[in-house]
DNA sequence: ATATCAGTTGCAAACGTTTGAAATTTTTTG
DNA sequence: CAAAAAATTTCAAACGTTTGCAACTGATAT
C-alpha cells in the first residue's frame, strides 16, 4: 500500500564513486574513462561509459568549480529585462562569451538598489569571474558604491553599462547620450520648432542627465532660452508620461515639440496629444530615444535616437576578456563611448 | 621598475584557512566565529570578524553548495526576454522564490532548440534544484524531449510554461489560449465581421495551435466557413506580419477583420492597413494577443487578449515548491490552466 | 632469469567549508 | 586543592572530481 520507493525528489544523483564501487575500481579510473584519458584500457572505458550513460550519470560541475577555482560564469545585473535595449545588451554579451563557454547569470533588480547590492554579494560569493552592471535608476551617491568594493578587492572585473565610473571598475561602456540628445533637439529646431519640451528621466541618473545636458546645450547654442516649465520628470515608463504631458499641453502657449527621454514616454505623450485633439507632428513634433522596434510601426512612426544595445554588450564582453588577460591597466579603466544615431520618422516631419 | 605586484586579476580570494593561519587557530574556529556560533569566545569572535571584514573575506558559496548538495538556485529557460510576457513570467517566478533564498539562473535560447538542450544539461550539471522551461518555438517532436530525460532521472522538478507535457514533468502552467482566441473571434463576429483573417504563429507550437483552434472553432460555431486563404503564418515578430498582411489585403474581397497571434503581428498588420489607405477599425478591425502595455497607448489602441504572465510565473513557482515537499504526485503532474481575458479597445469598436 | 618497458590502475591530495565528537583549557564548586 | 562542570578549541570527515606520481601487471628484450 505504501509506496515502494522513497519520494522521487530524494533520488540522489549518481556519482563517480558509485560507479567505481559498482565496477570495483577506483574513482580515478572512472574519471579518466569518462574523460577519454588515453591510459585507460579500451574495454574498461567502453564499459564504464556505457554504464554511466545508462545510469544517467551527470558530472557534478559544482565540485569541479571548487577544484578548479573557476566557474566559467559571469554575472549580469540589470534593472529590467522587459525592454528592447536591455535585452539587446544581454544578447551582445552572450554572443561574445557563450562561444567561450561562459554562462550568464542574469539578475533583475526591478530598479531596486537593495537588490542590486544583494546580487553583487551573491555573485561574488558564487565566484563569478566578472560582473556586468547596468545600474539601477535609483540615485547613486558615493555611499552606494560601497557594496562594490569587495569586487574591487577581489579583482573581479566589474564592467559598468550606461554609466562610467572609474573607481575600481575594469571599464565601462556607454553610449553618447549627450550627442544623441543634442542631435534630436537640433533636428526639432531644424524643422522650425522653438518651444521644445523635455520629458526628463529620474533626476540623478547618468542617462537622464546626459540627455538633459544635450537638450540644454543645444537650445543654448541656437539661442533658445531654457524654460524650466517645459522640463518635467518621468520614470521611463509609458504611464509616467501621461500626467506630465497633460500639464505641458495646458501651458500657454503649449510646446510645439516634445523630446522624450525614451520611446516609452514619447509614446505616452503622443497618446495625450491625440486625446487633446492635437496633431503629431502638425501641432507638436515628438522625438523619443532608444529606437525600439515598435517605434517604426506605430502611427505616426516615431523619430528616435538609436542606441546600439547589442554592440554595447559586445564591447563590454571584450573589456572583460581583455581584463582577464591582464591587458587592462587598472590605473586607467577602459571607457568606451559608442555613438548614437538619430532616426527621423513621421512624428517629426516638417509640417 | 616592474610592478611590485602580480597582475591584479591574480589575487586569490582570501579563505577561512588563510585567516586561521594568520590567527594560529583552526579553520573550524574561524568558521564558527564568522557564523556567530555560541561556543566561540566573545573576543575571538570579534577579532576574527573584524579581520575578515577588513580583509574582504567572502564565503565561498561554491564549496558550500558541494558540501550541502544543494545550490538554492533554479534554472529558467526562455526563448526570449525582450518581451512583456516572458519577463512578466520571470518576475512572477522570482517574486515567489526570491524571498525563500533562491537564485534564478535565466537562460535565453533565442528560439534555438540546440541551445535549449545545452542549457538543460548545463543547469543539471550545475545542480539547480528545479528547471522552468518555456519551450522554444521550434517544433517539438518526440525526439526533442530526449534531452529532458536526465532531468526526469534525476528527479529535478521540471515545470513547463506555455505547454503542458506529462512525460516526466512535475507540472505545467499554461493559459487558456483556446478560449482567449475564441473570445477574440467571437467579439469580432459580434461587431459584424464575417471575413476574419488569422495571422497564425509558426505551425506546430502549442500556443499557435491552441489559438488557431479557438479561431476555427468559433467560426464554425457561428456558421462561418473557414477560408484557408485567410490563414497565414508569422513568427511572432512585427516584421513577419507585413508581407502576409499585404497578401491578405490583396484578396478579393479583402478581410474585414484580422486576428493576430500576438500584439506584435497585430501592430505590424495595422501599419500595412494604414499604408493601403484603409481604416482600423472602419475597414478592418484588428485584435492581438498578450495585452502588452504598449497596446493601450498606440493609435488606434489595440484590442487584445490579456494573459497573466506574472501569475503564471507565480503558479509555476508554487508547483516547484510543492514538488519539493513531495506533495506532487508524479503519476499525475499538476497542470494549471489560467484564464485569459479579452480587453476591447478602439481597434475593434463597432463602426 | 633479469632488466626494461609499455600499458593500466590506484593512492592521495587538493579545492573551501561545515559540524559532530573529542580534546583541551578555564572556571566553578565542595 | 582536587574534582566536576563549563567554556572554548581542535580533529577529522565529508561533499565530487581531477591529476601527478607511484605501483602493479604482463610482455618483450637481453
Beta strand residue intervals within chain A, DSSP E:
73-78, 103-108, 131-134, 158-161, 171-175, 196-200, 231-233, 257-260, 285-290, 303-306, 334-338, 341-343
Q: When comparing pLDDT for B141 and B240, which is higher? A: B240
Residue B205 pLDDT class (50, 70, 90 cuts): confident
Which residue is closest to A70 within chain B, CA to CA? Answer: B62
> Quick one: what percent of chain B has pLDDT higher than 70?
89
Which residues share a beta bridge with A231? A198
The residue lying closest to nucleotide C14, measuring its CA against C1', is A67
Q: Is the pLDDT of residue A327 over 80?
A: no
Residue B307 pLDDT class (50, 70, 90 cuts): very high
DSSP class of A77:
E
> Does residue B299 approach strand C to less than 7 Å at its CB?
no
Residue A206 pLDDT class (50, 70, 90 cuts): confident
Which whole-number Å values give the CA distances from A251 to A229, A274, B70, B218, B293, in the listed order? 9, 16, 61, 50, 28
How many alpha carbons fall within 13 Å on the CB side of residue A161?
33
Cis peptide before B268 (omega within 30 of 0): no
Q: Are A91 and B69 an interchain contact pair (Cβ–Cβ within 8 Å)?
A: no
Contacts of A8 in chain B (CB under 8 A): 155, 326, 330
Is residue A26 less than 8 Å (CB to CB) from chain B? no
State the alpha helices, DSSP H only, in B169-239.
177-190, 206-221
Cα A53 to its chain centre, rounded Å, is 39
Q: Is A164 helix (H, G, I), strand (E, B) or coil?
A: coil
Q: Model-level pTM?
A: 0.90
Over residues B202-210, mean pLDDT: 90
Q: Determine the pLDDT at residue B3.
A: 31
Contacts of A80 in chain B (CB under 8 A): 87
The model's pLDDT over A222-279, given as tens digits with 9 standing for 90+, comes to 999 999 999 999 999 999 999 999 999 999 999 999 999 999 999 999 999 999 999 9
Note the CA–C1' distance, A22 to C6, in angstroms: 28
Residue A82 pLDDT class (50, 70, 90 cuts): confident
Q: Determine the pLDDT at residue B329.
A: 53
Amino acid at each position: 500500500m505504501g509506496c515502494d520507493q522513497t519520494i522521487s525528489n530524494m533520488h540522489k544523483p549518481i556519482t563517480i564513486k558509485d560507479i567505481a564501487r559498482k565496477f570495483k575500481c577506483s574513482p580515478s579510473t572512472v574519471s579518466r574513462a569518462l574523460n577519454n584519458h588515453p591510459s585507460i584500457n579500451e574495454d574498461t572505458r567502453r564499459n564504464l561509459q556505457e554504464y554511466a550513460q545508462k545510469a544517467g550519470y551527470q558530472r557534478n560541475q559544482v565540485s569541479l568549480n571548487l577544484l578548479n577555482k573557476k566557474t566559467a560564469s559571469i554575472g549580469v545585473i540589470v534593472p529590467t529585462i522587459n525592454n528592447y535595449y536591455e535585452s539587446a545588451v544581454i544578447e551582445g554579451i552572450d554572443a561574445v562569451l557563450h562561444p567561450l563557454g561562459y554562462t550568464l547569470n542574469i539578475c533583475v533588480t526591478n530598479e531596486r538598489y537593495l537588490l542590486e547590492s544583494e546580487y553583487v554579494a551573491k555573485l561574488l560569493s558564487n565566484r563569478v569571474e566578472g560582473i556586468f552592471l547596468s545600474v539601477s535608476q535609483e540615485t547613486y551617491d558615493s555611499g552606494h558604491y560601497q557594496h562594490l568594493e569587495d569586487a574591487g578587492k577581489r579583482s573581479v572585473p566589474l564592467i559598468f553599462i550606461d554609466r562610467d565610473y572609474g573607481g575600481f571598475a575594469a571599464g565601462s561602456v556607454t553610449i553618447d547620450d549627450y550627442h544623441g540628445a543634442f542631435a534630436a533637439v537640433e533636428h526639432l529646431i531644424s524643422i522650425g520648432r522653438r518651444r521644445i519640451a523635455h520629458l526628463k528621466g529620474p533626476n540623478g541618473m547618468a542617462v537622464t542627465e546626459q540627455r538633459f545636458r544635450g537638450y540644454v546645450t543645444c537650445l543654448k547654442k541656437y539661442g533658445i532660452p531654457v524654460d524650466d516649465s517645459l522640463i518635467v520628470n518621468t520614470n521611463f515608463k509609458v504611464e509616467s508620461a501621461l500626467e506630465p504631458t497633460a500639464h505641458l499641453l495646458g501651458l500657454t502657449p503649449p510646446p510645439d515639440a516634445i523630446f522624450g527621454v525614451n520611446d516609452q514616454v514619447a509614446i505616452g505623450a503622443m497618446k495625450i496629444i491625440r486625446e487633446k485633439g492635437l496633431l503629431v507632428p502638425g501641432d507638436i513634433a515628438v522625438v523619443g530615444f532608444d529606437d525600439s522596434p515598435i517605434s517604426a510601426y506605430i502611427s505616426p512612426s516615431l523619430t528616435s535616437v538609436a542606441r546600439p544595445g547589442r554592440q554595447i554588450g559586445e564591447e563590454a564582453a571584450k573589456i572583460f576578456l581583455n581584463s582577464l588577460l591582464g591587458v587592462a591597466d587598472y590605473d586607467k579603466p577602459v571607457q568606451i563611448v559608442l555613438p548614437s544615431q538619430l532616426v527621423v520618422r513621421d512624428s517629426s516631419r516638417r509640417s
